[in-house]
Amino acid sequence: MIGADGGSGTVRRLLDVAFLGETDEDERMLLGDVRLDGSDRDHWHIGQDAQGGSVALCPLPATDTFQIQAPVTPGDTGAPTLESLSHIVDTLIGPDAVRLREATWLSRRRLNVRMVDRYRVGRVFLAGDAAHVHSPAGGQCMNTGIQDAVNIGWKLAAVLHGADASLLDTYQAERLPVAAAVLGLSSRLMGQGIGEHGADTERMLQMGHTYRGGPLAPAGPADAEGPSAGDRAPDARCHRADGRRVRLFDLQRGGHWTLYGFGVRPRPPHPAVRTVAIDGEGDGDPVGRADGADRPGQLIRADRHRRRRSPGGR
Ligand SMILES: Cc1cc2nc3c(=O)[nH]c(=O)nc-3n(C[C@H](O)[C@H](O)[C@H](O)COP(=O)(O)OP(=O)(O)OC[C@H]3O[C@@H](n4cnc5c(N)ncnc54)[C@H](O)[C@@H]3O)c2cc1C
């Protein structure tokens, strides 16, 4: 069973798994989806005042609504209404610049920064907000949850197809440190304005997460430098052996394992692994291949992290 029932999830509570961290009662926010007049749907509109209060109107794709995020007025303890939100919008964006017409839902949100201390209890696994909730800064939460789901997904499938059940223990070992790192990053970003994220912008893309040194990618001497097992497999333009151009990400699409052989057709280590012979020079050194005689293959996991290099493409 996977408990992916959100930050207030019942599964985690029933398992009595601690949700460690803090709830900031002072950081409250009004949220909702609204229909409005006076704003184009091509941009995310943000109005700010000199005191740092801000209201955001985000056009939701494939709908005629905007998600609105607004501060709670000091002393306001009531449920949000269209009228109270209209007042905030008038104050922060300008009187009558935007007219709220209708709300499909409105809510209050508290800032929670919490995570579990275990991802697994027996046959139950926790994933997504059920396992970690963050500050919204940096847009990290959903991406982290989706990566949880992909990680446990391929492992469960593998065990159902005969892999050793101990593979499931690697879910927590790989994902818990990532959740902790993301929690730290999003908390740090919380105090900054949009556009001030500087060096953290790259980390916000979550491209650099690695399972290097974890149970499925123990660090070895050969991994001291350059890309190694556990790292996210990068994209690159390459040539197939028959000369056709191809992107590595296209070859990995579909949730299967992929084995690349450079200059050779690799032998599949398992029937479910898709093998690809790659020839010619790519536009970089995407997979850390060596020159000359040592042309290692690269085994890429279903979640697009490297499993290992294998000399000779096998
Ligand atoms: C305003 C706002 C902006 C955000 N912006 C971003 C962003 O830019 N980037 C980002 O990555 N993340 C963002 N997030 C966070 C993101 O929405 C969440 O991280 C994500 O939705 C979590 O997904 P989840 O599936 O784990 O949980 P949820 O989305 O909470 O889904 C849990 C589901 O379980 C269901 N459920 C609960 N209990 C039960 C039960 N007992 N039985 C059956 N079903 C149940 C719920 O109805 C719900 O459908 C934002 C969140 C908010 C509120």
- pLDDT tens digits along 65-82: 999 999 887 777 888 999
Q: Is 105 in the pocket of ligand 1 (CB under 6 A)?
A: no
Average of per-residue pLDDT across 30-46: 93
Q: Is 146 in the pocket of ligand 1 (CB under 6 A)?
A: no
Q: Is 136 in the pocket of ligand 1 (CB under 6 A)?
A: yes
Closest atom of ligand 1 to 145 CA is 26
Lowest mean pLDDT among 116-120, 274-278, 280-284: 280-284
Q: Is 29 in the pocket of ligand 1 (CB under 6 A)?
A: no
Q: Is 128 in the pocket of ligand 1 (CB under 6 A)?
A: yes
- Judge whether residue 128 has pLDDT over 50: yes
- Rounded to the nearest angstrom, the distance between the alpha carbon of 6 and the centre of ligand 1 is 5
Domain layout of the chain by residue ranges: 2-18+117-203, 24-111, 221-313
Higher-pLDDT residue of 220 and 7 is: 7
Closest atom of ligand 1 to 29 CA is 1
**CATH no. for 24-111:** 3.30.70.2450
- Judge whether residue 159 has pLDDT over 50: yes
Q: Is 252 in the pocket of ligand 1 (CB under 6 A)?
A: no
Query: 221-313: same fold as 2-18+117-203?
Result: no
Q: Whose CA is nearest to atom 48 of ligand 1?
A: 5
- Rounded to the nearest angstrom, the distance between the alpha carbon of 15 and the centre of ligand 1 is 20
Q: Whose CA is nearest to atom 8 of ligand 1?
A: 139
**Both ends of the chain: CA-CA distance in Å?**
35
Residue 311 is predicted with a pLDDT of 46
pLDDT digits (tens, 9 = 90+) for 87-111: 999 988 888 889 999 999 999 888 8
Lowest mean pLDDT among 13-27, 78-92, 265-279: 265-279
Q: Which CATH architecture has domain 2-18+117-203?
A: 3-Layer(bba) Sandwich (3.50)
Q: Is 174 in the pocket of ligand 1 (CB under 6 A)?
A: no
Arithmetic mean of pLDDT over the chain: 83
Position 284 confidence tier, pLDDT thresholds 50, 70, 90: very low
Q: Is 148 in the pocket of ligand 1 (CB under 6 A)?
A: no
Position 163 confidence tier, pLDDT thresholds 50, 70, 90: very high
Q: Which CATH architecture has domain 221-313?
A: 3-Layer(aba) Sandwich (3.40)
- Judge whether residue 256 has pLDDT over 70: yes
Higher-pLDDT residue of 229 and 126 is: 126
- Rounded to the nearest angstrom, the distance between the alpha carbon of 111 and the centre of ligand 1 is 14
Q: Is 268 in the pocket of ligand 1 (CB under 6 A)?
A: no
Closest atom of ligand 1 to 129 CA is 26
**What is this structure's pTM?**
0.81
- Judge whether residue 114 has pLDDT over 80: yes
- Judge whether residue 285 has pLDDT over 50: no
Q: Is 31 in the pocket of ligand 1 (CB under 6 A)?
A: yes
pLDDT digits (tens, 9 = 90+) for 195-254: 555 666 666 677 778 899 899 988 766 555 667 889 988 888 887 667 788 888 898 888
Q: Is 4 in the pocket of ligand 1 (CB under 6 A)?
A: yes
- Rounded to the nearest angstrom, the distance between the alpha carbon of 276 and the centre of ligand 1 is 37
Average of per-residue pLDDT across 49-53: 77
Q: Whose CA is nearest to atom 37 of ligand 1?
A: 5
Position 280 confidence tier, pLDDT thresholds 50, 70, 90: low
